[in-house]
Every structure is written in C-alpha cells, then in structure tokens.
C-alpha cells in the first residue's frame, strides 16, 4: 500500500475495475458508512456516480430509503438493475439538469466530484435537487501528496490515484480549503464536515489548516444557502 | 399450416383457442377519433393463475404483428409463441408465480375487434369503414378487459416496440393501476423515419389491385403481393446489418453464379420473399394499415401539452426502460427521451442499454443480459408486493434455435 493512499478513492476505483459486486455491507467503505450514518431513515436519496451500488443497496436494505442511482458505466448500471436497484445510465455533468428542485432529501456524490468537468455547476445542481447534499472527495492537500509534489516534482501517481496526469479521470483535484472556498462562493452552507485519515477514521473538521494537511479525504453535508 | 388458414375470417376466429370477452356492450368505447365502438370483443390468452388478492397480474403488450399467443403454439402457423423465451415456468415472466395476460390489440385480426370483423350495422366486414384507432384506444380496450377480469392493479405491464408504446400509455394514463412499467425497444413518439417506412408498407398494400379499396372480402382475393412487400420492408427495419450479414452475407441461393435476371439469386432475397409470403397467411392487410397508423399517430408528449415529463408527474410507477445498441428503428436516443422525462418528474426509473447486434428484434430473442436485468427488476417488484420469487431457469438450447427466426 502506498503511503499516499486515500482509502476511499482506492476502494471506489478498485470497485469500478472489478465490476459490480453489490451488497456486502459487512466491509462497507469507511466513507460510505459515514455517509449512510448522515442519512435519515425512509428518506429519498439520489446517489450520483453510484459505482457498484454498495451504498444504495445498504440504504435500501437497512434504512428503508427510496433510492435512485445515476452511473456512467452502462455495464455497472445493468448489473445494479438486475440486483433490484433503480439506476439509470447518465453523466453528472449533463444529466443533473433534468431533475426538478428538491426532488430528493439527499443527493450523494461520493468520490466523483474530482472527475466532473464542471465541479461548480455539479455542486450547485446537487444542492438544488436535494434538500441536502453529501459530497466526499480525496484531499489533494494531504501532506504526503504535498511531499511527493515538493520532492518528486511530479503529479503523484499512487495506488489510489493510479493514472498519470494525462490519462486520469480525476481532472479537478482540490484540497479541503479549495472546496470550502467554492462552497462559500456558491452560497452553499456546510452543515457538517468530516475528515478521514489514512486508516479511514473520521474526525470533525476543527482546525482547518491542520485538517487540510492530515486528512486523506473530506466528507461534507451541504445545503443551499 | 393449420386448417384455420383455409376458412373464412369469422370461422377462423370462432375456432381460435383461448378466451374472448365481449365488452362495451352497454356503454360504447369512445375512440380518440370521436367514433363510438360497441360491442368490442377482446381475444386474450393467460398463463399461470391469478392469486386470491389479484395482485400478481402482468399485462404483456404485443408488437405490430404480434398477437395474444405469446407463449403457446400459434394456431395458424403452428410455431412457438412470439415470447416463449420470456413467458413460462421459471422464465422472466414466471407462470408459476405470475398471472400473465396477453390480449390481441384493438384493430387486430386474431379475435379482437378489427377491420376484418363484421360491422354490426351492415353484416359485412368493416373494411375501411372501421374507425381509425390509436394507442390510447388499444389501451382502453385492455383496460375494459382488466375491469372485466376484476383486476384493479397490475403488478407490471411490459412490452416491446409498439407494445412499449402501450406500456408508456398505460403508465401515463392509469398510474394508479400499474405497479411497474417495462417499455422495451420503444419511443415516446413514432419518428418521421418510422412513419416513412410504414407509409411504404401501406402504399404497397394499397397499390395491389387485389386490395380493391379495402373491400377485398367481396371478391375473396386478398392483396397478397402488396402485404408481402409491406412485410419485407418492415422486416429489414427489424434487423441490423451485422445480423443480416452473419446470416446471409452475399451468399447465393441454390446456384453457383449470378442468373443475370431477377430471380432470388441471393439468400437474403429468398429469405425476405419467404417472410413476406408466410406473413400473408396469418395477417389481414387492412389490420396492417390500421395498426401502422396507430403507431404513426403515437406521440405521448402531445397529450400533455408537448411536455413529456408532464405525462409522468408524481408517478408512483417503477419504470425499467431498455434499449439495444444495434436497434436503428427505435434507437437508444429515443429510449433516453423517456428516461430524461422520467428523471425530470423524479420518477423511479431504471434504464439499461443492452449490447446486442441483433437489431430491433433483440427484445424477442435470447439476450441473457436483458433477461437477467428484467428478472432482477421484476423480482424486486414481486418482493415489494409479497409475491414469491425464484431464480431464473436456464433457457433450453432447442428453444433458442427455434427463435432465431422470430420477428414480430
């Protein structure tokens, strides 16, 4: 395991490569468990970029949620539908615009923001469609990434960010501070903020510069201002 | 070929197996055109048993030239039903658990009221005096049948192509009576290209001197050549170039070289001629005119102020939309119009595109990925409604062989 890993992103990308194996709640990704804990039972949830459907499956089974998914990979979508989930093939950048205001209680975007073409637009759509949005992403301000860039002089290639700069789907990497600044600019209220360390353990964001240095991932509960 | 083919239309209908319900006797069926139709006979087949609570009914809507014989031997052709891969014990539409209903559409020619039946006012076949019907009217006839059977709510309604149009119409018009809607290889409206192909077919029928202005029942001579040409044109639109190429390529039929004439030199020509010829034995030319017209007129958004999403506002229906990569008659872009509208209504929708080179007809063929996704979707629907589920049984190889030729 590379010291530069974001456990959440690594798990997500490994899941995508392996295709769909939905349903195993026992070992649910740390960030997905934290997201699930934020969601009220019996609410309406749209999971954008739902990957292998692990979160949706958990929410439907354990929290009686009315769940919908949007996923780029058709193969993944077909497999999720055959598992009984409601999922459509679609692209966060172009398809969120179709959904009406306040159609869902929560719109989840986990480990996907950095792969969108227009993160600002996507973020604004999330808080428009949902009463709340839950967003998680890898923190590019993590100290080991900074060190790699500082001493290696190259864009970090790690197990969790395995593609080189010219072939990676992660085109809009940011730090926690960058993200919070964008939220302010978009008049988005941060209701809760959590950071994950490299063991996948969560802490509330207190000292921001410190969090920005030591967190591998950020996880935020947001709403429209 | 069965004896039925040599009898008159009325005699044939009387001899058909399955059920017939005479409906709209007291209150006529008011059609979209404003005409009233009374009575309306609906011929239908059922598979499986209706449970005591009447919660396990699935309505199967057939395509243009399909009929009610979805999963049993066809009384005219003697071949397996058009959806015998999908309907039956252990299949996607499992007759061990579900009560499956398939009705011949209004305007059809296999027992449901249509232009070949007798006009009660004249005692003669309707011919072109039969009122023009629409997808809405077809669904209304099906609704009358469900009322007659005492079924308030369908577990699901499913169909491909024109059947998919009926599914969309059902979900839009009667959302409270539809648990799940499964439109396959279909579109929210018939496109200009689709209408154009249908017009070629209709013109072929009407250009046949034996058509006689639709009154061919008087002379007993049918527009066989025109109907065969219509069928040949349509048939090509149901396939894909890869499928045609795989099957025939440019291979010659029973000869070593070109004939330098207009016989069927190529296997694909001979195949199409056979498809055309066998079709005229089981289908009525006027029915073909009426049903293609009904498809051309279909435009779901038009009934909702031009806004498709308005057809699905607050819809409680679970949707599963499916398209096929090689379907150029009802391409994925058309299915996505429906999906976008459903998203815009925040409806519960799943959408799958199945990778297949078999063209439009793929929804009738052995597509394991389609069967797996539909089985998963329907199992979830059964679980929500307290109906037992079972794993999908593997498809028998001999059945696949039989269905290679399947065209609606």
3-state class (DSSP) for residue B324: strand
For the stretch B186-235, pLDDT in tens is: 999 999 999 999 999 999 999 999 999 999 999 989 999 999 999 999 99
Tokens at residue B313, please?
A: 């506002």
Any catalytic annotation for residue B397? no
Whether the CB-CB separation of B107 and B138 falls below 8 Å is answered with: yes
Testing the interface with B: which of A43, A60, A76, A81 to mutate, by most B Cβ within 10 A? A81
**Closest CA in chain A for residue B325:** A74
Q: Which helix (H) or strand (E) segment is B20 a member of?
A: strand B19-23
For the stretch B71-127, pLDDT in tens is: 999 999 999 999 999 999 999 999 999 999 999 999 999 999 999 999 999 999 999
For chain A (length 225 residues), average pLDDT per consecutive 10?
A: 56 49 58 94 96 94 95 91 94 94 97 95 98 96 91 84 88 95 96 88 80 92 96
Distances, alpha carbon A133 to alpha carbons A203, B92, B105, B315, B329, in Å: 19, 37, 47, 24, 40
- Count of residues in chain B: 408
- What pLDDT, on a 0 to 100 scale, did the predictor assign at position A39? 97
A84 to chain B, any CB pair closer than 8 A? The answer is yes
Parallel, antiparallel, or unpaired: how do β-strands B57-61 and B154-160 relate? Answer: parallel
Choose the closest CB to A88 out of B345, B351, B377. Answer: B351
- What pLDDT, on a 0 to 100 scale, did the predictor assign at position A12? 66
Any catalytic annotation for residue B117? no
Instruction: Give mean pLDDT, residues B133-147.
Output: 98
Report the C-alpha gap between B46 and B69 in whole angstroms: 9
- What pLDDT, on a 0 to 100 scale, did the predictor assign at position A135? 97
Distances, alpha carbon B394 to alpha carbons A21, A172, B70, B114, B399, in Å: 22, 46, 19, 38, 11
Residue B10 has pLDDT above 90, yes or no: no
Whether the CB-CB separation of B201 and B194 falls below 8 Å is answered with: no
Residue B245 has pLDDT above 60, yes or no: yes
- What pLDDT, on a 0 to 100 scale, did the predictor assign at position A14? 55
Report the C-alpha gap between B63 and A123 in whole angstroms: 43
Mean pLDDT of chain B: 94
Instruction: Give mean pLDDT, residues B335-343.
Output: 96
For the stretch A67-116, pLDDT in tens is: 999 999 988 999 999 999 999 999 999 999 999 999 999 999 999 999 99
B360 band by pLDDT with thresholds 50, 70 and 90: very high
CA–CA min distance B309, chain A (Å): 10
Residue B278 has pLDDT above 70, yes or no: yes
Closest CA relative to residue B79, chosen from B382, B363, B403, B315: B403
B396 band by pLDDT with thresholds 50, 70 and 90: confident
Residue B11 has pLDDT above 80, yes or no: yes
DSSP B187: -
A83 to chain B, any CB pair closer than 8 A? The answer is yes
Instruction: Give mean pLDDT, residues B57-67.
Output: 97
Choose the closest CB to A95 out of B320, B343, B372. Answer: B343
Tokens at residue A177, please?
A: 């501070």
Report the C-alpha gap between A135 and A182 in whole angstroms: 13
B14 to chain A, any CB pair closer than 8 A? The answer is no
- What would you measure as the largest C-alpha separation in chain B, in angstroms? 67
B350 and A85: CB-CB below 8 Å? yes
Instruction: Give mean pLDDT, residues B350-370.
Output: 95
**HEC assignment per residue over chain A:** CCCCCCHHHHHHHHHHHHCCCCCCCCCCCHHHHHHHHHCCCCCEEEEECCCCCHHHHHHHHHHCCEEEEEECCHHHHHHHHHCCCCEEECCHHHHHHHCCCCCEEEEEEECCHHHCCCHHHHHHHHHHHEEEEEEEEEECCCHHHHHHHHHHCCCCCCCCCCCCCCCCCCCCCECHHHHHHHHHHCCEEEEEEEEECCCCCEEECCCHHHHHHHCCEEEEEEEEC
Closest CA relative to residue B336, chosen from B136, B198, B183: B183
- What pLDDT, on a 0 to 100 scale, did the predictor assign at position B334? 97
- What pLDDT, on a 0 to 100 scale, did the predictor assign at position B68? 98
- What pLDDT, on a 0 to 100 scale, did the predictor assign at position A7? 64
- What pLDDT, on a 0 to 100 scale, did the predictor assign at position A209? 83
- What pLDDT, on a 0 to 100 scale, did the predictor assign at position B224? 97
């Amino acid at each position: 395991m590379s010291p530069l890993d974001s456990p959440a992103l690594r798990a997500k990308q490994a899941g995508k490569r392996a295709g769909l194996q939905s349903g195993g709640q026992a070992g649910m990704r740390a960030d997905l468990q934290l997201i699930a804990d934020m969601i009220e039972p019996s609410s309406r949830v749209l999971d954008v970029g739902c990957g292998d459907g692990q979160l949706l499956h958990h929410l439907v089974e354990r929290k009686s949620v009315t769940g919908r998914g949007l996923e780029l990979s058709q193969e993944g979508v077909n497999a999720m539908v055959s598992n009984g989930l409601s999922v459509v093939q679609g692209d966060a950048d172009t398809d969120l615009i179709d959904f009406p205001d306040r159609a869902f209680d929560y719109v989840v975007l986990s480990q996907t923001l950095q792969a969108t073409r227009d993160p600002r637009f996507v973020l604004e759509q999330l808080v428009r469609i949902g009463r709340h949005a839950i967003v998680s992403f890898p923190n590019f301000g993590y100290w080991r990434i900074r060190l790699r860039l500082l001493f290696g002089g190259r864009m970090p290639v790690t197990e969790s960010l395995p593609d080189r700069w010219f072939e990676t789907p992660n085109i809009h990497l940011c730090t926690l501070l960058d993200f919070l600044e964008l939220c302010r600019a978009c008049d988005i209220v941060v209701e809760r903020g959590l950071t994950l360390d490299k063991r996948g353990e969560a802490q509330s964001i207190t000292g921001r510069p410190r969090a920005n240095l030591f967190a591998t991932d950020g996880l935020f509960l947001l709403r429209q201002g | 070929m069965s004896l039925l083919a040599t009898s008159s239309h009325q005699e044939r209908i009387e001899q058909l197996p399955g059920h017939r319900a005479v409906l709209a006797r007291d209150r006529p069926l008011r059609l979209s055109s404003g005409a009233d139709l009374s009575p309306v006979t609906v011929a239908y087949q059922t598979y499986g048993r209706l449970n005591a609570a009447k919660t396990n009914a699935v309505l199967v809507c057939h395509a243009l030239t399909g009929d009610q014989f979805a999963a049993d031997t066809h009384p005219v052709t003697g071949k397996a039903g058009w959806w015998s891969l999908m309907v039956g014990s252990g299949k996607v539409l499992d007759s061990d658990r579900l009560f499956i209903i398939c009705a011949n559409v209004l305007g059809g020619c296999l027992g449901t009221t249509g232009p070949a039946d007798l006009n009660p006012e004249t005692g003669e076949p309707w011919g072109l005096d039969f009122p023009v019907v629409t997808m809405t009217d077809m669904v209304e006839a099906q609704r009358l049948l469900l009322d007659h059977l005492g079924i308030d709510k369908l577990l699901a309604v499913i169909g491909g192509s024109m059947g998919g149009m009926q599914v969309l119409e059902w979900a839009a018009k009667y959302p409270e009576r539809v648990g799940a809607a499964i439109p396959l290889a279909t579109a929210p409206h018939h496109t200009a290209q689709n209408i154009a192909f249908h017009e070629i077919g209709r013109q072929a029928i009407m250009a046949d001197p034996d058509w006689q202005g639709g009154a061919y029942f008087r002379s007993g001579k049918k527009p066989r050549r025109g109907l065969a040409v219509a069928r040949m044109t349509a048939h090509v639109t149901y396939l894909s170039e890869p499928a045609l190429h795989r099957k025939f390529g440019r291979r010659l039929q029973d000869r070593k070289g070109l004939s330098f004439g207009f016989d069927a030199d190529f296997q694909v020509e001979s195949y199409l001629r056979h498809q055309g010829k066998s079709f005229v034995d089981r289908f009525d030319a006027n029915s073909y005119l009426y049903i293609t017209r009904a498809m051309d007129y279909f435009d779901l958004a038009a009934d909702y102020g031009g806004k498709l999403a308005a057809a699905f506002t607050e819809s409680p229906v679970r949707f599963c939309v499916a398209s096929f990569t090689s379907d150029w008659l009802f391409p994925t872009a058309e299915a996505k119009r429906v999906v976008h509208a459903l998203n815009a209504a925040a409806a519960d929708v799943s959408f799958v595109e199945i990778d297949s080179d078999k063209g439009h007809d793929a929804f009738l063929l052995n597509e394991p990925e389609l069967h797996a996704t539909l089985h998963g979707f329907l199992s979830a629907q059964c679980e929500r409604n307290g109906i037992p589920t079972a794993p999908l049984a593997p498809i028998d190889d001999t059945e696949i062989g039989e269905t290679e030729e399947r065209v609606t």
